[in-house]
Structure 1
């Protein structure tokens, strides 16, 4: 898997850094992992330097678990890596972070790609305390985030299940999910000048299609593309279509 192949660790940061060229910084979601971006790395690391930090969702102090601390982490990571100008892409909570970082550091971000991003509205799995000890419940909730339930492997479901059995981890998940709901960016998005691509699953149950339309309306320099038979993680569910749309965007903006 992707983590095993290219994981680097230094000064408290765990991340993947593959390829060379224009920098593409990728941010995973609340229940995400570096492997969520595997097909993107395979496709684009030939022409881009792809950097994916492992977000410290389960390492934050419980009382401080929220987007503010995650943004502080991201700022420290970017400083550590010496990144000056880059494209940023985020899924779900990672999209929310990309938005907040871009609003705070517009000079750093060249282009932004959001897919199933929170920041306006989301049906958050972590919005209430996950039902601990019920594998069937966790399986149902995980499969709910995919159009084809078979996309959720037993390994992935088991990983989420183990996480929700851990009370401190659960508390962090709930705290971060509530922080995402508090940090509604509707009144801030008009400030974003970066060219933005929105890739949305037409069958998204977490951030429904209307959310994609709202982002498109509120971010002036944005374009919205939908993928059919696709839910909340297009880069995992429909990687070929996702990569084709992303490639068109990146190539067009370079040309």
Structure 2
């Protein structure tokens, strides 16, 4: 009982605490998105329910972590880097799984899914090392993380995933293209946060709050990913 009371206890957020504000709003937005995705599952054909379930899991996992990150920030006024990367190591591979799930209709194999998952894990582990463990070599770790990211982007824009999307055509191709744009543009927010939170980059970026950048990026990307999948399921169920 005490645990539940502590979990739902809301600490005071200063009116000028924009980081705390974005943590709280991000948590509520992703929790609301999770409820929406979970409750809508029964409305779709069985072949799309798993995709909707994964969308809900992505936002639910993020919402729980954001609740803890909000409390961590409120208590210490410090970036909750560890919690953030735990969130990402769970949710980003699931976002990669979404590509496989929507492309199964065109014959996508699990090797595509595992390749994207592997690259995402490399991207995140090296990013964490550069941001929290070996900050003196943040640029090197950031480069490795960036190469893994570009490998993902290449695969979905020009590689096997793109060929499968073209083969599927119609609403699947449109959804795939929308998810690709989220990866190319939406995920590009994260390198800005990385540079703002690690030494050795351009001085101008040091004036930015990496937590605000990350929080906005998370909400836009995770909820946006889910809405693209939801729209695809709606279109496919109506056909």
Q: TM-score, normalised by structure 1?
A: 0.28
Please tell me whether Structure 1 or Structure 2 has the larger radius of gyration of its CA atoms: 2
Q: Which has the higher helix share?
A: 2
Tell which has more relative contact order, 1 or 2 (C-alpha 8 A, sep 6+): 2
Q: Which has the higher strand share?
A: 1
Q: TM-score, normalised by structure 2?
A: 0.29
